[in-house]
Amino acid sequence: MSFRTAQIRLVSSHREVYEPCDDSFALVDALLSDRNNLIEHHPTLCMEVGSGSGYIITSLALMLGQEASGVHYIATDINPHAVRVTRETLEAHGVHSELITTDIASGLEKRLAGLVDVMVVNPPYVPTPEDEVGREGIASAWAGGENGRIVIDKILPIADNLLSDKGWLYVVTLTANNPSEICLQMRQKGYAARIVVQRSTEEESLHVIKFWRDFDTQVDLKEMAATNKTVPARVMESLVSQFPLSAFWRSGPQ
């Protein structure tokens, strides 16, 4: 069997598990469009947080190969049904990943710190009342609390801790999540960002953003610290120019 991405007909399912949807396809398309870079990147450890049906981690394993190419895969999900469904999807495609039922990467921090070369996340990003976040079952697939940012904001510092020096992070965001502000937050941790895929429908606009540690960014941060300044104007301009203006209209006070 040799597929470039997971086959929908082989993706397992369960009523409490998120099925591959537009956001899942956007993330796989982003990985496909960056496939040559990913192969040249020679990752040894790839991780997915929130694997759901397993469509993404299976696709990544099919794109980059397995033991023969020296890549190890780890996927987590807070929903135990999702972990079981991910296992079935991986098996149906003849690929393997270590699977862990946990909250983001809880219990893995020491073992994986500084080791993850590629991390992929399609998080729960839908703005919802806060008490819907982290509920059992399918609700945990989308409920993101205020601005859809509660889980995203927990994942980012964990990703920063787990990523290797050459680590890349791919995250799906929605306009309502204020992606430029997410980029700014990551900039302050020393990451550059690029939009790999953007998809718009009448209701929403999705961005798949890639983050990587950037030497220039770290110089900017040192300058900022030395001069007691906030984010330099040129950094702000480069972030803002990547996002459509609608991102700012929709996340504004109205």
Ligand X SMILES: C[S@@+](CC[C@H](N)C(=O)[O-])C[C@H]1O[C@@H](n2cnc3c(N)ncnc32)[C@H](O)[C@@H]1O
Residues that bind ligand X (CB under 6 A): 18, 20, 24, 27, 49-53, 55-56, 76-79, 82, 103-104, 122-124, 140-142, 151
**Dihedral of alpha carbons 248, 230, 157, 37, sign:** positive
Q: Between 51 and 164, name the residue whose CB sits nearer to ligand X.
A: 51
Task: State phi, psi for 184 to the nearest 5 degrees.
Answer: -65, -40
Nearest to 195 by CA among 216, 176, 171: 171
Residue 218 Cβ vs ligand X, minimum distance, rounded to whole Å? 29
Q: Between 141 and 196, name the residue whose CB sits nearer to ligand X.
A: 141
**59 within 8 A of 89, measured Cβ to Cβ:** no
H/E stretch holding 73? strand 72-77
Residue 42 Cβ vs ligand X, minimum distance, rounded to whole Å? 24
Residue 151 Cβ vs ligand X, minimum distance, rounded to whole Å? 5
Q: Between 43 and 124, name the residue whose CB sits nearer to ligand X.
A: 124
Residue 128 Cβ vs ligand X, minimum distance, rounded to whole Å? 12
Q: Which DSSP string corresponds to 115-149? A: TEEEEEE----B---GGGTT-SGGGGGTB--GGG-
Letter for the amino acid at 29? Answer: D
Residue 175 Cβ vs ligand X, minimum distance, rounded to whole Å? 16
Rounded to a whole number, what is the distance in angstroms from the first to the last CA of the chain?
52
C-alpha count within 13 angstroms, C-beta hemisphere, residue 190: 16
Q: Between 55 and 187, name the residue whose CB sits nearer to ligand X.
A: 55
Q: Between 49 and 62, name the residue whose CB sits nearer to ligand X.
A: 49
